[in-house]
């Protein structure tokens, strides 16, 4: 800026590095702990430098599981989390884009009431309807199933709103042109609208995948079988048993594995992530 | 705004909205309605008969000191989390907004905690500050602090606030940075020419221009503290010790888990619904205004 002296810049660099250190420290500790012996950690003697048990700890975590509480290998949990996250992200995008298409490109009775019905779900997060929703999922025999994990979370007011706004900005001439080419509603959607929506879909996907992967309260309620557990639930069960029995290196390895996919997505697809975050909050 | 070019097909639009509509009706409106109805009913101790009791469940809740305490606690947590996370994120964003070398790297290194799930955040922090094995607890004890968040309610509460604020730094940072970058540099240069020092420029120019962002983030952070802290609380303290970290959402969850009073649990859900509606309304009113600027 105007009279920005070198000194102020140094201060800025230092403050930013302190901020990064604060943000990264808990994760550093988790990674370190996941390479050490449980006995050392349990005694409060944990070293702040990496230990030599990286491979055996991660092997046991992913393929064998803890000896105590969960007994399910974390590999299975990660697979469950992945299936749930993909179902939520893809499901939300798919049903939102077609409802937005109907609302923008068709005139039909109850068009706006339907739009409002979808919109108002914004105010009904799962936390305020926990047990009645649980009861419905139980009545539909969907406990301990992927459908039960994903379906009740799959409606999306924000995604519908986003696609609606985007379709509004698509010039009418495109529809005219494809009509002249003899395209019906399906062809227009598939050949014109979908390709145009690619960036929006990708940005949404990044956000929704993270959201899906990180679900906690809902899977906690509806999964009882160990082999249907997601990784977020598994990690909680690992520290349920009395402290003395908790296998901390495995718990920390699970924490690292639980962070890895969403953090990877944020770092690698940063542009899409930022775009998706800003768009969905509007 | 209306589209001019539209399709005339009669049934297709219904087929297109059907999947979303079905999910919304079955998994959103039906349970919400159940909660509202249930909140006006009272079951006898054996679950054999139910009677319509108007607002008795609500009245009972507000007469119950524990519920009132949970409300106060939730608001206190929200406020503490929002203020600490927002102020730290603002400091970092102001620094990152300067024309520094490596500013993209700084952004990357600061935004990734957004992706860490709340239960994992809880596990990370309880591990660092665990009374017997936490690496930071050692230093606290060396400093003479009698640190035991598993027994001391105030310490447990501050641990929850710390962990929840930590997770939210990246989100706030990102939106503050975007807000700062949209402030025209010419305004700041004008203030500088008028002789305003950097600190003064920040408080008299930047901060007021940033107020829409601050207000927006305040609402988002409160919503976050109300609902998304569930995972953090559940892995760290389970609402304890005593009830010192039990928020409204956590209370609904634990009481429902124990079975117990259906009417009261439903009434608590309805009160939460009203709070979300209020917060969302505030957020939208405000966003609307920002758009018409």
Range of A118-127, B115-124, B199-208 with top mean pLDDT? B115-124
Under a CB-based contact definition with an 8 Å cutoff, are residues A257 and A231 in contact?
yes
Q: Does A103 touch chain B (CB under 8 A)?
A: yes
Bridge partner residues of B52 (DSSP): B41
Under a CB-based contact definition with an 8 Å cutoff, are residues B135 and B249 in contact?
no
Is the predicted pLDDT of residue A282 greater than 60, yes or no? no
Name chain A contacts of B96, Cβ cutoff 8 Å: 12, 16
Task: Write the burial class of residue A220 (CB in 10 Å: 0-12 exposed, 13-18 middle, 19+ buried).
Answer: buried
Smallest CA–CA distance, residue B37 to chain A, in Å, is 11
Is the predicted pLDDT of residue A167 greater than 50, yes or no? yes
Pick the range with the lowest mean pLDDT from A11-15, A22-26, A242-246, B123-127.
A242-246
**Backbone torsions φ then ψ of B50, nearest 5 degrees:** -125, 145
Q: Higher confidence at residue A57 or residue B47?
A: A57
CB-nearest to B276 from A128, A176, A248 is: A128
Phi-psi sector, B42: left (phi>0), alpha (psi -120 to 50), beta: beta
**Backbone torsions φ then ψ of A241, nearest 5 degrees:** -60, 165
Contact A125 B138 (CB under 8 A): no
Smallest CA–CA distance, residue A219 to chain B, in Å, is 11
pTM for this prediction: 0.89
Q: Does A260 touch chain B (CB under 8 A)?
A: no
Task: Write the burial class of residue B179 (CB in 10 Å: 0-12 exposed, 13-18 middle, 19+ buried).
Answer: buried
Contact B174 A27 (CB under 8 A): no
Name chain A contacts of B126, Cβ cutoff 8 Å: 239
- DSSP tag of A190: I
Q: Give the span between the Cα atoms of A87 and B292, in whole angstroms.
A: 37
pLDDT at B11: 87
Q: Higher confidence at residue A25 or residue B255?
A: A25
Name chain B contacts of A150, Cβ cutoff 8 Å: none
Q: Tell me the CATH architecture of domain B64-288.
A: Orthogonal Bundle (1.10)
Bridge partner residues of B265 (DSSP): none
Q: What is the mean pLDDT of residues A84-112?
A: 92
Name chain B contacts of A235, Cβ cutoff 8 Å: 119-120, 123, 235
Q: Give the span between the Cα atoms of A243 and A181, in whole angstroms.
A: 70
Of A192, A193, A172, A197, residue with least CA distance to A279: A197
Name chain B contacts of A42, Cβ cutoff 8 Å: 133
Of A167, A145, A155, residue with least CA distance to A94: A155
Average pLDDT, chain B: 85
pLDDT at B291: 40
Contact A127 B252 (CB under 8 A): yes
Residue A274 parent element (H or E): helix A270-280
Contact B109 A20 (CB under 8 A): yes
**Backbone torsions φ then ψ of A43, nearest 5 degrees:** -80, -5
Smallest CA–CA distance, residue A122 to chain B, in Å, is 8
CATH of A34-278, one of 3.30.360.10, 2.40.110.20, 1.10.3720.10, 2.40.160.10: 1.10.3720.10
CB-nearest to A216 from B231, B256, B266 is: B231
Q: Give the span between the Cα atoms of A61 and A253, in whole angstroms.
A: 7
Residue-wise over A169-197: b if at least 16 C-beta within 10 A, else e? ebeeeebeebeeeebebeebbeebbeeeb
Contact A117 B110 (CB under 8 A): no
Instruction: List chain A domain ranges.
Output: 34-278
Is the predicted pLDDT of residue A1 greater than 70, yes or no? no
Smallest CA–CA distance, residue A34 to chain B, in Å, is 12
Instruction: List chain B domain ranges.
Output: 64-288
- In chain A, what percentage of residues exceed pLDDT 90? 33
Smallest CA–CA distance, residue A70 to chain B, in Å, is 15
Contact B30 A13 (CB under 8 A): no
* ipTM, 2 dp: 0.89
Contact B193 A12 (CB under 8 A): no
Contact B14 A108 (CB under 8 A): yes
- DSSP tag of A60: I
CB-nearest to A172 from B3, B7, B135 is: B3
pLDDT at B2: 63
pLDDT band at B58 (very low <50, low <70, confident <90, very high): confident
């Amino acid at each position: 800026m105007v009279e920005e002296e070198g000194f102020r810049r140094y201060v800025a660099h230092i403050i930013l590095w302190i901020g990064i250190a604060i943000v990264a420290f808990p994760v550093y500790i988790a990674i370190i702990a996941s390479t050490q012996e449980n006995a050392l950690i349990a005694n409060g003697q944990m070293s702040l430098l990496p230990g030599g048990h990286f491979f055996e700890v991660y092997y046991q975590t992913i393929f064998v599981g803890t000896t105590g509480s969960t007994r399910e290998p974390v590999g299975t949990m990660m697979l469950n989390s992945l299936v749930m996250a993909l179902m939520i992200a893809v499901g939300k995008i798919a049903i939102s884009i077609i409802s937005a298409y109907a609302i923008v490109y068709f005139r039909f009775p109850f068009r706006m009431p339907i739009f409002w019905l979808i919109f108002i779900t914004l105010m009904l997060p799962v936390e305020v309807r926990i047990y009645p929703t649980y009861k419905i999922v139980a009545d539909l025999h969907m406990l301990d199933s992927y459908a039960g994990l994903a379906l009740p979370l799959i409606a999306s007011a924000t995604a519908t709103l986003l696609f609606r706004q985007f379709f509004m900005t698509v010039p009418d001439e495109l529809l005219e042109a494809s009509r002249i080419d003899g395209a019906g509603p399906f062809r227009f959607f598939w050949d014109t609208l979908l390709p145009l929506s690619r960036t929006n879909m990708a940005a949404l996907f990044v956000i929704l995948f993270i959201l899906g992967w990180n679900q906690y309260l809902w899977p906690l309620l509806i999964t009882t079988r160990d082999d249907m557990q997601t990784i977020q639930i598994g990690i909680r069960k690992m520290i349920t048993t009395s402290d003395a029995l908790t296998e901390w290196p495995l718990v920390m390895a699970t924490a690292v594995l639980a962070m890895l996919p969403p953090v990877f997505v944020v770092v690698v697809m940063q542009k899409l992530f930022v775009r998706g975050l800003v768009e969905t909050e509007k | 705004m209306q589209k001019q070019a539209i399709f005339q097909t009669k049934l297709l639009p219904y087929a297109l909205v059907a999947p979303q509509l079905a999910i919304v009706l079955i998994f959103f409106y039906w349970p919400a309605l159940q909660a509202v109805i249930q909140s006006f009913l009272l079951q006898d101790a054996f679950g054999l008969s139910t009677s319509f009791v108007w607002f008795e469940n609500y009245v009972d809740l507000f007469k119950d000191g524990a519920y009132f305490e949970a409300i106060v606690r939730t608001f206190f947590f929200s406020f503490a989390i929002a203020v600490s996370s927002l102020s730290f994120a603002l400091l970092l964003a102001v620094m990152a907004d300067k024309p520094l070398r490596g500013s993209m790297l700084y952004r990357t290194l600061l935004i990734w905690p957004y992706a860490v799930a709340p239960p994992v955040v809880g596990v990370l922090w309880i591990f660092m500050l665990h009374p017997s094995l936490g690496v930071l607890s050692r230093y606290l004890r060396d400093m003479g602090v009698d640190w035991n968040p598993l027994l001391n309610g105030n310490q447990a509460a501050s641990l929850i606030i710390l962990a929840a604020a930590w997770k939210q730094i990246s989100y706030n940072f990102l939106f503050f940075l975007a807000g700062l970058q949209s402030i025209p540099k010419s305004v700041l240069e004008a203030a500088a020419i008028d002789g305003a020092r950097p600190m003064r420029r920040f408080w008299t120019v930047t901060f007021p221009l940033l107020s829409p962002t601050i207000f927006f983030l305040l609402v988002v952070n409160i919503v976050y503290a109300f609902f998304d802290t569930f995972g953090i609380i559940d892995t760290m303290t389970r609402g304890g010790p005593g009830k010192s970290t039990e928020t409204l959402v956590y209370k609904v969850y634990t009481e429902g888990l124990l079975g117990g009073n259906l009417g009261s649990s439903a009434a608590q859900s309805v009160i939460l619904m009203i709070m979300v509606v209020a917060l969302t309304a505030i957020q939208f009113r405000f966003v609307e205004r920002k758009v018409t600027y």
